[in-house]
Copies of this chain bind each other. A is one copy, B any other.
Amino acid sequence: MGGDLESVLEEVSSLLYEYMDELLPSGRSPSEARLAEAMRYSALAPGKRLRPFLTLETAKLFGVSKESALQAAAAIEFVHTYSLIHDDLPAMDDDDERRGQPSCHIKFDEATAILAGDALLTLAFEILADDSTHNSNAVKVELIRSVARASGHRGMVGGQMIDLRSDNKKLSINEIIHLQRLKTGELFAVSCDAGAILGNAPPNLRNMVKAYAHDIGLSFQITDDLLDAEAANDDDSERLHKSENKPTFITALGKRKAKEQAKILSEQAKDHLKVFGRKADLLQQLASYIVDRKF
């Protein structure tokens, strides 16, 4: 691949679209149509596909086959999609829009959205356990265990719970870091770790890509908070909604310090990849892209 990051991200998007399209249920029988339709609606909606990109790129560092990498990337994207569907529910963040279209419970209804999320999470584990994910069962088990840990009560779900409980609260910077590490950091980390696991990477290199992922995960979140704060000033209603009443890196650090911190983390992230040389060019570029993006 090589070359321009944005065009590679687009390539990953269309590659993933096709691959997920195959993995998702077709819903041919009428009684199964609605659930399948909701799963497809949310999973195939246009997204940045950062997590699949991370899995595919780290997989390349360790000589992993394309099919293995795509299986893991799709499974992790399904976990991400399920979390968005459930987070958007009225009882949670109550968001009517997602990825530029009505969120799942608006397009369908709440019950369908809850079940579509449940089914996508379950499908992720079914995919990871599939023969085509890897020929070594030890690798598959390690991958499943890592994805489950990153997504569950000690990871993403735990982070979402803390996030919901922190409305209108003042959190310390350490508490915000902890929250974000669980809520988004662990899934970012396992997206990179998946490539390393599939490639039987030695522990020190596995730790390097995970350290990279944690740094870009945090710098991604700080940048998100900065973009939200700017949107609040510009009265951008879609972003505005999200930033009400939530403690953020901006409320804890102020804008200038937050910006500095995002840059420092991005540089630190790149540093972790030095050991891989030019092979990690695109991952290096992503670390800069994440803090420089305008969306």
Size of the A side of the interface (Cβ < 8 Å), in residues, is: 53
Residues of A within 8 A of B (CB): 25, 31-32, 34-36, 39, 82, 86, 89, 91-92, 109-112, 114-115, 117-119, 121-123, 125-126, 128-130, 136-138, 140-142, 144-145, 148-149, 151-154, 157-158, 160-162, 164-165, 175, 178-179
The oligomer's copy count stands at 2
Assuming the A-B contacts A137-B137, A141-B129, A158-B32, are A152 and B122 also in contact, with contact meaning beta carbons closer than 8 angstroms in the complex?
A: yes
Mostly helix, strand, loop or mixed at chain A's interface?
Answer: helix
Residues of B within 8 A of A162 (CB): 31-32
Cα distance, A39 to B157, chains bound together (Å): 12
The residue of chain B having its C-beta at the shortest distance from the C-beta of A79 within the complex is B122
Residues of B within 8 A of A39 (CB): 153
Residues of B within 8 A of A125 (CB): 125, 144, 148
Residues of B within 8 A of A165 (CB): 31, 34
Residues of B within 8 A of A161 (CB): 32, 34-35, 112, 115
Cα distance, A144 to B110, chains bound together (Å): 28
Given contacts A136-B137, A140-B141, A141-B144, 14 further A-B contacts (CB under 8 A): A32-B153, A34-B161, A34-B165, A35-B158, A91-B110, A91-B114, A92-B111, A112-B161, A115-B157, A115-B160, A117-B118, A118-B152, A126-B148, A128-B144
Residues of B within 8 A of A123 (CB): 148, 152-153
Residues of B within 8 A of A130 (CB): 145
